[in-house]
Amino acid sequence: MPKLNRPKDAKNLVEKEITHTPQVEVSGNGDGYRVTITVGKIKHGMEPNHFIEYIELYDDETFVARADIGPSTLPVASFWLKAMPEKPVAHARCTTHGEWSNA
Ligand SMILES: [Fe+2]
């Protein structure tokens, strides 16, 4: 299994953590819950030879959803859920710097 990178201190991101740590935002509209995941506190670049190739959402360790993306997109994915996740955890994979999680 590939190494999963996690921020050492989520409140004080440093170096590659700043552009690779997924940021999770949850909102609701009465019909469901929207979870938006943006890769990077400063968005990761999306260049042809270096980009985010997928974004996944877990509820703690249970898989919920995945978006495969490419260099013509922003490093962002939104998922509409029927129920609020208890512990939303995001993973994102960079083609150059590996897999990253917010938790
Ligand atoms: Fe990267």
Distance 44 CA to ligand 1 centre (A): 7
| Domains of the chain in sequence order | 4-101 (2.60.40.730)
d(CA 89, CA 40): 14
Per-residue pLDDT of the chain (103 residues; tens, 9 = 90+): 568 999 998 888 899 999 999 999 999 878 899 999 999 999 999 999 999 999 999 999 999 999 999 999 999 999 999 998 999 999 999 999 999 999 9
Q: How far is the CA of 65 from the centre of ligand 1 (A)?
A: 22
Distance (Å) from CA 58 to ligand 1 centroid: 21
Task: Please give the pLDDT value at position 56.
Answer: 98
Task: Give the residue among 36, 38, 34 at the shortest CA–CA distance from 84.
Answer: 34
